[in-house]
Amino acid sequence: MSTTDKGGSITFSYNASGERIKAQYTENIVTTKYDSWGRKSEFNDPSMDCINMNITYWVPLKQPSPEPSQELLLLE
């Protein structure tokens, strides 16, 4: 898929899940990688360098209590 305006043309590539994996304009190529859950794991833009997105999610194991400490489960 591509689009063109006064600045030029941009060509986009997508994976089977419909997530954009590449955008190319002139010699610049921006790539995006995803983990097995479909979350962005890496974004590589030549103008910004490569950004690794190591995201950790915390979820409560039980209902929040008024006490300051809670048990948390780490999901990766």
Per-residue pLDDT tens for 20-51?
999 999 888 999 998 888 888 888 888 877 77
Q: What is the pTM of this model?
A: 0.60
The beta-carbon contacts of 12-21 under 8 Å, at least 24 apart in sequence, are none
pLDDT at site 62: 58
**In the numeric block, which tokens belong to residue 68?**
């300051």
pLDDT at 61 over 70: no
**In the numeric block, which tokens belong to residue 20?**
């954009």
pLDDT at site 56: 60
